[in-house]
Every structure is written in structure tokens, then in C-alpha cells.
């Protein structure tokens, strides 16, 4: 038997995506703080337990698409390191961040960046963004330290990670807020991280 989704030529949507759509509707209707996990689960037609199988809390729904793209960063870092050319660690990180941006579905814009005001997200937006920045900084700093043969908590890897992630983050915000004709995320991230990487590389020569 052919399923409806197969006949339509579309992949079956995951429970995470269904929950995200339900949350988006409710955040716009009631505001972020006025929406509960139970309401989201009910709107999506799943149990509260199912919600927590996919998300730790409401804030994770705001970043679903960006989180999925960032899952590609470790592999991107490994890939650029394997390429010939002997580039410095900052340039490798910049290339990996651009590759992740290039792989991102440009039709998927994080609500936290595009609809934060309409959803009245408030302080949770800052907190959820900060937690993601710290997690990625830890990952990137460890990579840079390994490339340089240094300890993971050495100052320079932390500086490289923070500077490049800040540049990529600022570019992502600009892309999200550019509107319908925003174009490709990679076209924002690449020009933002490349000069930062060159400056970092020249400062240690």
C-alpha cells in the first residue's frame, strides 16, 4: 500500500517538526511565556512524554533548525582538517563554519531570530542563545587546541573560538532579519568569518 505522504512525494514529517509547528502557532497566539509544554503537546497531538523525547524545554523549539545545522560542525571540522594546504586553525574553523552555513536549508529561519518580538520571548531568548554559544565555543576551542598541541583551556583557542563564533552569530542574525530576499546563509557567514580568521592568523605569525 502507498501512503499518502509517499503519493505526494514528500517525506513523512517527524514528531519534532510537528511539535515545532504547534509551538510556533501557540507562541504567536499566546506569547512564549503564555504557552506551556502541555499545550504544545496537545496541539501537536502527542503526549507530554513524547515532547521530552525530543526537547529539553520550550527554548529548544526556537532553535530547532539551527541546532540541526550545528550538529554538522564536528564533521565539517574533520573534513577541512583533512584537506591539503596546511591552513592555520582559525582558517580551518572559518571554513567549517561556512560549510555548515552552506548546508543549512535557507528556507528554515530560526524563530528566535525572525519572530522573537512577535512571540514575546524575552529573557529566555538571551539565555538559550548563550547556552548554545558556550557549547559551540567549547567544541571549537578544543579543536583549535588540538591543532596547536595545547591544552583545551589555553587562552588562545578560547579567543579563536569566541571571535569566530561571534562573527558567525552576528552574520546569522543579519541573515535572519534581512527578510524574504535574504538569500543564502553562507553568503553572510563566509564574508563575516574570513577576515576575522585572517586577523587571528596574522596575530600569531
Tens of pLDDT, residue by residue over 164-190, are: 999 999 999 999 989 888 999 999 999
Same domain for 96 and 148, yes or no, is yes
- For residue 205, what pLDDT is reported? 53
What does the alpha-carbon distance between residue 32 and residue 121 come to, in Å, rounded to a whole number?
Answer: 5
Q: Give me the CATH number covering residue 98.
A: 1.10.357.10
Tens of pLDDT, residue by residue over 110-119, are: 887 877 778 8
pTM score: 0.84
Q: Cell numbers at residue 72, please?
A: 554538522
Tens of pLDDT, residue by residue over 24-66, are: 899 999 999 999 999 999 999 999 999 999 999 998 988 888 8
Secondary structure letter of residue 10 according to DSSP: -
Same domain for 68 and 51, yes or no, is no
The answer to the question of residue 1 being in a domain is no
Same domain for 20 and 84, yes or no, is no
Amino acid at each position: 500500500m502507498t501512503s499518502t505522504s509517499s503519493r505526494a512525494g514528500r517525506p513523512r514529517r517527524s514528531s519534532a517538526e510537528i511539535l515545532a509547528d504547534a509551538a510556533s502557532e501557540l507562541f504567536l497566539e499566546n506569547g512564549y511565556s503564555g504557552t506551556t509544554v502541555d499545550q504544545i503537546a496537545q496541539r501537536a497531538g502527542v503526549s507530554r512524554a513524547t515532547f521530552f523525547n525530543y526537547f529539553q524545554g520550550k527554548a529548544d523549539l526556537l532553535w530547532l533548525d539551527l541546532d540541526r545545522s550545528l550538529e554538522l560542525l564536528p564533521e565539517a571540522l574533520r573534513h577541512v582538517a583533512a584537506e591539503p594546504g596546511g591552513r592555520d586553525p582559525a582558517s580551518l574553523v572559518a571554513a567549517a563554519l561556512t560549510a555548515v552555513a552552506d548546508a543549512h536549508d535557507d528556507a528554515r529561519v530560526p524563530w528566535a531570530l525572525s519572530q522573537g518580538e512577535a512571540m514575546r520571548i524575552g529573557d529566555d531568548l538571551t539565555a538559550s542563545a548563550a547556552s548554545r554559544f558556550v557549547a559551540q565555543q567549547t567544541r571549537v576551542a578544543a579543536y583549535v587546541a588540538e591543532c596547536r598541541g595545547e591544552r583545551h583551556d589555553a587562552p588562545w583557542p578560547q579567543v579563536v573560538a569566541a571571535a569566530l563564533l561571534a562573527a558567525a552569530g552576528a552574520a546569522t542574525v543579519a541573515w535572519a532579519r534581512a527578510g524574504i530576499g535574504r538569500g543564502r546563509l553562507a553568503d553572510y557567514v563566509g564574508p563575516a568569518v574570513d577576515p576575522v580568521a585572517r586577523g587571528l592568523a596574522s596575530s600569531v605569525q
